[in-house]
Amino acid sequence: MKTSWLKSGIASVALVAATGAAWAEKANDTLRVAFTKELENVDSFFNSSREGVVLQRAIWDGLIYRDPVTNEYKGNLATSWEWIDDTTLELKLREGVTFHNGAPFSADDVVYTVNFVSKEENGVKTQRNVNWMESAEKVDDYTVRIHLKEKFPAAIEFLSGPVSMYPAEYYAEVGPSGMGLEPVGTGPYKVVSVVPGQHFVLEKNENYHDSPKGQPEISNVDIRTIPDVNTQMAELFSGSLDLIWQVPADQAEKLATMDQFTVMNESTMRVGYLNMDAAGRSGDTPVTDLRVRRAINHAINREELVNALLKGKSRVVSTPCFPSQFGCVEEAAKSYEYDPEKAKALLAEAGYPDGFTIDFYAYRDREYAEAIMSYLNAVGIDTDFKFLQYSALREQNMKGEVPLAFLTWGSFSINDASAMVSQFFKHGSLDDARDDQVLEYLNTADSSTDPDTRIENYAKAIERITDQAFWAPMFSYNTNYVFTNDVEYTPTADEVLRFTTMSWN
Amino acid sequence: MVDTSTTDSLLREITGPTPGQMLRKRVFGHQGLLFGGIVLAILLFIAIFAPLLAPHDPYAQSLMTRMQPPVFLGGDWEHPLGTDHLGRDYLSRLIYGARVSLMIGAVAALISGVIGTAMGVAAGYFGGRVDMVVTFLINVRLAMPVVLVALAVVAILGGSLQVVIVVLGLLLWDRFAVVMRASTLQVRGREYVAAARAIGASTPRVILSEIMPNIANNLIVVVTLEMAHAILLEAALSFLGLGVQPPTPSWGLMVSEGKNMMLFEPWMVLIPGAVLFLLVLAINLMGDGLRDVTAPENRS
């Protein structure tokens, strides 16, 4: 008898509403999508959120494209590429491509974009995405050379991911903030209007070049920011949304029982971990002690978190990177089994037989954070819970004021360990470990072109990081995509919504 | 020889019921007061004996048995009101949550009551400059929206039980001050106050034994109003994530935690919402009733 009256009630209301209204939107050829987080700036170099990546892939193109299914690199704005030497990449560009504002795409645009974003003072949000490039040089109108600072084997991966090409003249004129308000790219969708953080309207680019991304089918995409998942679902029921994503597991399970929606689950590269201030940047907190960090690692029941909370295609992760990434050697990682008794013993050994109190920060998935907190409380670590906005927490973290935080990283869907380990462990402002040995291994791994050397050194770095328990890696995320049966879409494992592969049934 | 029982009844006819008897009659004749009083007494009992009454540890997480429905929706008696999103027993959290709500309500009302009454009575009794200063302070306080100030302060200092209690206590004194000042002004000129002064009673004595007893019934109403107000504010702050911090059980927090599942498991919001409603209703009914039975005009 469990809540059956309720379910059938919701279902019937939803059925009536969804069939009625979604019909109309299919007729209008407009796909309505919800974003959960407010996007700070549409300019893809000046945001670090997943929503930004989705828009980036729709509005702009990279020089290269990685097929999300086969992982094969294909030419996009470049047609071919070749390493001249270890630090120089020469690319032949596609001819006849135009930007949304009508400007033709040529080597000048590549040179301008690369030279702009690679300069640290221009303030690209995620430096790791661009700071491997030194500069670009025009050979002729359709040939460019990109000079690297040092050897960087993941260059192709980054060029097919976060580095998109901007129109030189327009970008020089309007800058990042102007680009955020009226974005112009070469991508499959043009931007019709932007209400910052709230509402984005896209329109099919009729002149889209013959790109490996495929041609867009749906004419209009209307994206609204709706922070509350209940509101999103209510709108899905009432037929004013066609697709929602990042739906929490519990809700997705319920939605899956309804006939008019398709629920698809895909794993993502996002890894959830606890960051511990081992270097003591936030003061002499207990987590500077290795035994305490190991105790925290032992206190968390990762299996239970994955099975009961995250569900879907999530898995336990013991590496400070996503296991599918190149160089993310799982065997090298020391994994900490769930053992609260051992955790208590380690705490006692470290001089905290009665535990201690520590500030515990988080910015998303409050529910997971609470569950983690409960594990910590169970071994005697009392937590002062601080739940902040992502940008605020990142800011504090950069200043080194966060002793213990539940963080996540999606690696910008880059299938290379450097996008995660090297992002956080090379003494940058977000590095709370500041370990010289790790830095050394990572420097070697990042700058080598020999795959074996890279694997060996990433493995060493991972071994050192997990042995010293700088982090407590916990699990990988999955995403639930829920859409009405009118929509045809097969999500990919990289947590990027690709409007070009969506169509109406 | 006269039958004693007849004497008693005769005596009763002559003297009428004693004041105690009359009070008892008024109290038991007032349904609102009875209802409020009983509900509040039960909740108070539950709060005080929470550790004995709660079937489970309110902090014990069990992810494998998350969101079990309550008995009346098909759950089992192991968790009569189901379990929350982390598998913690809902009934136990509700029981412990009563402690938080009642404590915040009582202590915040006490702090603000002391501040507000002192200011109001002083202003009403002394008048003049004292009155001007107090009136100014009341106006300043009224110009600040409580929720906004509370949000700001809690956001800066960080949310915790103590911070919430102190912030609310320091914010909710305005109504005490306004009502006490007006009531004092009313009784200040009465004959019995003048008489007390005439026989040489000191100012503290006049205030404490002549004025206070005669305005106490107004005070009771304000105390209950503000207690209910504080409880609701705590729930609101906790709901916004700025009040009592998890894992402390608080009804507002429970509503907030249940809200994600509101569409599919509405009981997660309804249960704490309902007890919150019941508590605030009980306090208000009791306040009204107490005013009715203690008002001087109803005494004779």
B267 within a domain of the structure (yes/no) = yes
pLDDT value of residue B299: 56
CB contact under 8 A, B74 and A309: no
A370/B259 CB distance under 8 A: no
Question: Tokens at residue A221, please?
Answer: 């995409």
**Sequence-ordered list of residues with C-beta below 8 angstroms from that of B13, at least 6 positions apart, any chain:** none
Q: How close B224 comes to chain A (CA, Å)?
A: 32
Please state the domain count of chain B.
1
Element (H or E) spanning A462, and its range? helix A451-467
Tell me if A367 and B86 make a contact (CB, 8 A cut-off).
yes
Residue B38 pLDDT class (50, 70, 90 cuts): very high
pLDDT > 90? residue A271:
yes
Given a cut of 80, whether residue B11 has pLDDT beyond it is no
| First-to-final CA distance of chain A | 35
Phi, psi angle pair for B199, to nearest 5°: -85, 5
Q: Is the pLDDT of residue A15 over 50?
A: no
Q: Is residue B2 part of a domain?
A: no
**Cβ within 8 Å of residue A436, ≥6 positions away:** none
Is B240 part of a structural domain of the chain? yes
Q: Are A101 and A387 in contact (CB under 8 A)?
A: no
Q: What's residue A457's pLDDT?
A: 94
pLDDT at B19 over 80: no
The reply to whether residue B260 touches residue A375, judged by beta carbons under 8 angstroms, is no
Q: What is the pLDDT of residue B69?
A: 87
Q: Are the Cβ atoms of A370 and B63 closer than 8 angstroms? A: no
- Exposed, middle or buried: residue A102 (CB in 10 Å: 0-12, 13-18, 19+)? exposed
Asked whether the predicted pLDDT for residue B4 surpasses 80, the reply is: no
**Higher per-residue pLDDT: A143 or B144:** A143
Is the Cβ pair B63, A304 closer than 8 Å?
A: yes
pLDDT at A101: 93
Interchain proximity B247–A248, CB inside 8 Å: no
Q: How far apart are the first and last CA of chain B?
A: 36
Interval B26-37 mean pLDDT: 86
Contact A218, A205 (CB under 8 A): no
Kindly indicate the confidence band of residue B12, based on its pLDDT and cuts at 50, 70 and 90.
low
Pairwise CA distance, residues B5 & B42, whole Å? 39
Contact B69 A1 (CB under 8 A): no
A44, A187, A401, B157, B171 from A163: Cα distances, Å: 9, 13, 31, 41, 53
Report the pLDDT value the prediction gives residue B257, as an integer from 0 to 100: 85
Average pLDDT for residues A224-231, to the nearest whole number? 90
In a mutagenesis test of the B interface, which of A230, A244, A258, A360 is the best target, namely the one with the most B β-carbons within 10 Å? A230
User: Strand, coil or helix: what is A76?
Assistant: coil
Residue range B121-131: average pLDDT?
A: 91
The pLDDT assigned to B122 comes to 92
- Is B154 part of a structural domain of the chain? yes
Q: Per residue in A59-106, pLDDT tens?
A: 999 999 999 888 889 999 999 999 999 899 999 999 999 999 999 999
- The predicted-structure confidence for B198-215, as pLDDT tens digits, reads as follows 998 888 888 888 888 888
Q: Which amino acid is at A273?
A: Y
* Closest partner CB to B63 (pick from A1, A371, A386): A371
Question: Is the Cβ–Cβ distance between A109 and A167 less than 8 Å?
Answer: yes
Q: From chain B, which residues contact A within 8 Å (Cβ)? A: 59, 61, 63-64, 66-67, 69, 73-74, 85-87, 158, 160, 241, 245-247, 257, 259-266
pTM check: above 0.80:
no
Determine the structural domain holding residue B159 and report its residue range.
39-58+66-298
- pLDDT tens-digit map of A410-468: 887 788 898 899 989 999 888 999 999 999 999 999 888 788 999 999 999 999 999 99
Confidence band, pLDDT 50/70/90 cuts, at residue A22: very low
Instruction: Assess if residue B30 is contained within a domain.
Output: no
pLDDT at A3 over 70: no
Q: What is the mean pLDDT of residues B191-202?
A: 89
Task: Report pLDDT for B159.
Answer: 73
Q: Which residues lie below 8 Å from residue A317, measured CB to CB, with a gap of 6+?
A: A271, A272, A273, A302, A323, A473, A474, A475, A476
- Does residue B26 lie within any of the structural domains? no
Residues comprising chain A, all counted: 505
User: How large is the average pLDDT for residues B53-79?
Assistant: 86
Structure tokens at A6: 């309720």
Please tell me which of the candidates A1, A307, A377 has its beta carbon nearest to residue B59. A377
Give the closest residue to A59 by CA, choosing from A196, A182, A225, A212: A182
How many angstroms separate the CA of residue A30 from the nearest CA in chain B? 26
Given an 8 Å threshold on Cβ–Cβ distance, is A254 in contact with B260?
A: no
Angle between helices A4-28 and A229-238 (to 10 degrees): 70
- Specify the pLDDT at position B73: 84
**Environment class of residue B77 by beta-carbon count within 10 Å: exposed (0-12), middle (13-18) or buried (19+)?**
exposed
Q: How far apart are CA B5 and CA B25, in angstroms?
A: 22
Of A2, A307, A370, the CB nearest to B246: A370
* pLDDT 10s digits, A166-200: 999 999 999 999 999 999 999 999 999 999 989 99
Per-residue confidence (pLDDT) for residue A470, from 0 to 100: 95
| Integer Cα distance of A225 and A197 in angstroms | 7
Indicate the SS3 state at residue B129.
helix
Mutate to test the interface with A, among B238, B255, B263 (most CBs of A within 10 A): B263
Which CATH number belongs to the domain containing residue B212 in this structure?
Answer: 1.10.3720.10
Distance, CA of A303 to CA of A475 (rounded, Å): 9
- Res A352: pLDDT: 94
Residues of chain A that touch chain B, judged by Cβ-Cβ distance less than 8 Å: 1-3, 6-7, 10, 229-230, 233-234, 248, 250-251, 254, 301, 304-305, 307-309, 366-367, 370-371, 373-375, 377-378, 384-387
Over 80: is that where the pLDDT of A487 sits? Answer: yes
Beta carbons of B247 and A304 less than 8 Å apart? no
Q: Output the average pLDDT for chain A.
A: 89
Counting every residue, how long is chain B?
Answer: 300
Q: Is residue B259 a part of any domain in this protein?
A: yes
Please answer yes or no on whether B263 and A10 come within 8 Å at the CB atom: yes
Distance CA A336, CA A301 (A): 10
Residue B236 within a domain = yes
Quickly state the pLDDT bin for A21 (edges 50, 70, 90).
very low
- pLDDT tens-digit readout, A281-298: 988 899 999 999 999 999
Nearest partner of A161 among A246, A245, A60, judged by Cα: A60
- Show the CA angle centred on residue A85, arms to residues A81 and A91, nearest 5°: 20
Q: Which span out of A150-154, A352-356, A491-495, B63-67 was modeled with the highest average pLDDT?
A: A352-356
Q: What is the mean pLDDT of residues B52-60?
A: 88
Give the least confident one: A375-384, B88-97, B150-159.
B150-159
